[in-house]
């Protein structure tokens, strides 16, 4: 369950938060496939409670009504078509699976597929679930439970959401049927929402009943789905991420927290020469890594002070380091703009999601940020693909916040997070030649629109990053783009 089964040479996935299925399929064909992205995490595809009284907040999608594949992102046919079109251009689909709970009690009770529920009786006829399928007696998780009561964290309600009992055969069957239907449609794996709130032994049974990936979508024989379990473990809680790594991969929340500290100037970049398990991070093969996610970019969930698109220069630095460093399996966040932390995606007067528009410079409009279309970010995805499995070599630092390193003999990167200029003659691992920096520009007709780097026959090059440069990064690599 720890292999994402990316197409050959691909390494990175992006969370297209609240995107519609048809738009994702288009994005696979026109951008993500050609640019070498490995996969996409999509918003929950199953029916959720419609919350008009709060103007359709993003979090309504974390309130399941049923496993019918109808949401604001589209219907089952649109979902199936998206998976087919994305797999055909080498981009995998991973589903955000909400299997810990159903909706909370609310003053509205119609779902995005038209289903209704009787909250007072724990009755969800469209699944169907009844009262006996939920943990009993009903209780709500208290803040102190996270410190000392694993039983309550697993068997009580997370913010009032009706808590399913995954120990029961009927519940397991409903969940496995839902997930297997998605695998049949060609998805490559799942984010397990709120995994901390479910017993590892129950999850193990559920995972074991999942079918192999669909070979008609290009997966090898006997391929298991990629599973990354959302466990927020910043230390000091009764439940540890280590209870989940024997089962499948785990979201490594400490990764983005540490890199955010570094690139916000609260820790020196030079210390990153030991980044990885030395810093208390999971084993690399167990970790799904990211800077921000849909929760902590808006102060939901747990997780401290995280860089996001709103602090773009530092954020791009942290993202570039994530993509340059061999640790973990990176996931990018692709956001819609927001001021109100509860606000849903751009929508029209009827509540339909408005598609992102694509500007002539490749960026997005209509309220979508599309971090994955920022040159500094998609160029580093290609950089990581080129670096492949190459180890870090030629580490250099200035004793504070200027660092540089190579991956194998394919790719070189440098960062300047000091408030003075960086101007150094450094050893790269690249063959002699003229390279285009893929951060400050691109290569057009064999000329660089940004900085040019000349690597000499000894592999050395002058590396210049001014403290006032638009970005704090410089990156070059083998291959046509650089
Ligand atoms: C997650 N991971 O474990 C998701 O990443 C996170 O986004 C989800 O919370 C959460 N778990 C449940 O799937 C979000 C949001 C909450 C919101 C829930 C359910 O952060 O604020 O809770 O989705 O929509 C909302 C209200 C809350 C209310 C609850 C139940 O904010 O006040 O509690 O619904 O109606 C009475
Ligand atoms: Ca639970």
Distance in Å, CA 298 to ligand 2 centroid: 24
Tens digit of each residue's pLDDT (9 = 90 or more) over 457-467: 999 999 999 99
- Percentage of residues in the chain having pLDDT higher than 90: 99
324 exposed, middle or buried (CB, 10 Å; 0-12, 13-18, 19+)? buried
The pLDDT of residue 190 is 99
Tens digit of each residue's pLDDT (9 = 90 or more) over 3-55: 999 999 999 999 999 999 999 999 999 999 999 999 999 999 999 999 999 99
The pLDDT of residue 304 is 76
Instruction: Name the residue at shortest CA distance from atom 19 of ligand 1.
Output: 62
Q: Average pLDDT of 445-466? A: 98
Among residues 193, 371, 437, 469, the one annotated as catalytic is 193
* Furthest CA-CA distance within the chain: 75
Q: How far apart are CA 381 and CA 35, in angstroms?
A: 8
Q: Which of 50, 59, 190 to mutate to test the pocket of ligand 1 (most atoms within 8 A of CB)?
A: 59
User: Nearest-CA neighbor of 370 among 126, 16, 24?
Assistant: 16
Q: How far apart are CA 96 and CA 189, in angstroms?
A: 9
Sign of CA dihedral 147, 234, 11, 360: positive
The pLDDT of residue 189 is 99
CB of 164 closer than 8 Å to CB of 154: no
Tell me the two tokens of residue 433.
């030649």
Q: How far apart are CA 101 and CA 134, in angstroms?
A: 9
Does position 99 have pLDDT exceeding 80, yes or no?
Answer: yes
Is 193 assigned a catalytic role? yes
Among residues 18, 145, 230, 295, the one annotated as catalytic is 230
Distance in Å, CA 154 to ligand 2 centroid: 4
Ligand found nearest the CA of 344: 1
Is 230 assigned a catalytic role? yes
- The complex's ipTM works out to 0.94
Instruction: Name the residue at shortest CA distance from atom 24 of ligand 1.
Output: 59
The pLDDT of residue 321 is 99
Q: Average pLDDT of 201-211? A: 98
Q: Average pLDDT of 426-454? A: 98
The pLDDT of residue 302 is 76
* Ligand 1 atom closest to residue 60's alpha carbon, by position in its atom list: 24
Q: How far apart are CA 305 and CA 363, in angstroms?
A: 27
Q: How far apart are CA 179 and CA 422, in angstroms?
A: 51
The pLDDT of residue 301 is 86
Does position 303 have pLDDT exceeding 90, yes or no?
Answer: no
**Cβ of 381: how many Cβ atoms within 10 Å?**
24
User: Residue 476 contacts by C-beta under 8 Å, 6 or more apart in sequence?
Assistant: 411, 412, 413, 428, 430, 435, 436, 437, 438, 453, 455, 482
The pLDDT of residue 9 is 98
Instruction: Name the residue at shortest CA distance from atom 11 of ligand 1.
Output: 194
Does position 352 have pLDDT exceeding 90, yes or no?
Answer: yes
> Strand pairing of 226-229 and 433-436?
unpaired
The pTM is what? 0.98
Q: Average pLDDT of 216-226? A: 98
Distance in Å, CA 351 to ligand 1 centroid: 20
Q: How far apart are CA 402 and CA 412, in angstroms?
A: 14
Does position 445 have pLDDT exceeding 80, yes or no?
Answer: yes
Q: How far apart are CA 195 and CA 191, in angstroms?
A: 9
The pLDDT of residue 204 is 98
Q: How far apart are CA 67 and CA 125, in angstroms?
A: 11
Q: Average pLDDT of 263-287? A: 98
The pLDDT of residue 55 is 98
Tens digit of each residue's pLDDT (9 = 90 or more) over 53-94: 999 999 999 999 999 999 999 999 999 999 999 999 999 999
Does position 412 have pLDDT exceeding 80, yes or no?
Answer: yes
The pLDDT of residue 68 is 98
**Average confidence score pLDDT of the chain:** 98
Q: Average pLDDT of 363-375? A: 98
* pLDDT band of 285, cuts 50, 70, 90: very high
Q: Which residues line ligand 1 (CB under 6 A)?
A: 59-60, 62-63, 98, 104, 106, 158-161, 193-194, 230, 295, 300-301
């Amino acid at each position: 369950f720890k292999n994402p089964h990316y197409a050959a040479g691909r390494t990175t996935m992006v969370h297209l938060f609240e995107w519609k299925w048809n738009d994702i399929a288009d994005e696979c064909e026109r951008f993500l496939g050609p640019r070498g992205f490995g996969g996409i995490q999509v918003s929950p595809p199953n029916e959720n409670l419609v919350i008009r009284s709060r103007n359709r907040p993003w979090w309504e999608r974390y309130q399941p009504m049923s496993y019918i594949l109808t949401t604001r992102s589209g219907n089952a046919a649109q979902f199936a078509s998206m998976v087919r079109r994305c797999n055909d251009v080498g981009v995998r689909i991973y589903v955000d699976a909400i299997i810990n709970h159903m909706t909370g009690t609310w003053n509205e009770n119609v779902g995005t597929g038209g289903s209704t529920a009787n909250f007072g009786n724990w009755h969800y006829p469209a699944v169907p679930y009844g009262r006996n399928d939920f943990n009993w007696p009903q209780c709500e998780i208290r803040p102190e439970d996270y410190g000392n009561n694993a039983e309550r964290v697993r068997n009580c309600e997370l913010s009032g959401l009706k808590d399913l009992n995954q120990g029961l055969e009927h519940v397991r069957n409903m969940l496995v049927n839902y997930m297997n239907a998605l695998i049949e449609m060609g998805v490559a794996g799942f984010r397990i929402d709120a995994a901390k709130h479910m017993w590892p032994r129950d999850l193990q049974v559920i995972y074991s009943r999942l079918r192999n990936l669909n070979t008609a979508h290009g997966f090898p024989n006997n391929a298991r789905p990629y599973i990354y379990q959302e466990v927020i473990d910043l230390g000091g809680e009764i439940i540890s991420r280590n209870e989940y790594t024997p089962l499948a991969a785990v979201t490594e929340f400490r990764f983005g927290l540490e890199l955010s500290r570094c690139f916000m100037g609260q820790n020196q970049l030079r210390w990153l020469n030991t980044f990885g398990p030395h810093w208390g991070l999971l084993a690399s093969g167990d970790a799904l890594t990211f800077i921000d996610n849909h929760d902590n970019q808006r102060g939901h969930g747990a997780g401290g002070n995280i860089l996001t698109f709103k602090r773009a220069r530092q954020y791009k630095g942290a993202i570039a380091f994530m993509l340059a460093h061999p640790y973990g399996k990176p996931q990018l966040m692709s956001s819609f703009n927001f001021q109100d932390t509860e606000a849903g995606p751009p929508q029209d007067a009827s509540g339909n999601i408005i598609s992102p528009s694509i500007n002539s410079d490749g960026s997005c409009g209509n309220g979508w940020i599309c971090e994955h279309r920022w040159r500094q970010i998609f160029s580093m995805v290609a950089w990581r693909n080129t670096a492949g499995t190459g180890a870090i070599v030629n580490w250099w630092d200035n004793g504070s916040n200027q660092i540089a390193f190579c991956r194998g003999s394919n790719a070189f990167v440098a960062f300047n997070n000091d408030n003075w200029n960086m101007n150094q003659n450094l050893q790269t691992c690249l063959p002699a030649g003229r390279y285009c920096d893929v951060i400050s520009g691109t290569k057009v007709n064999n000329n660089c629109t940004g900085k040019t780097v000349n690597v000499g026959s000894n592999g050395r090059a002058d590396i210049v990053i001014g403290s006032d440069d638009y970005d704090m990064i410089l990156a070059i690599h083998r291959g046509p783009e650089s």
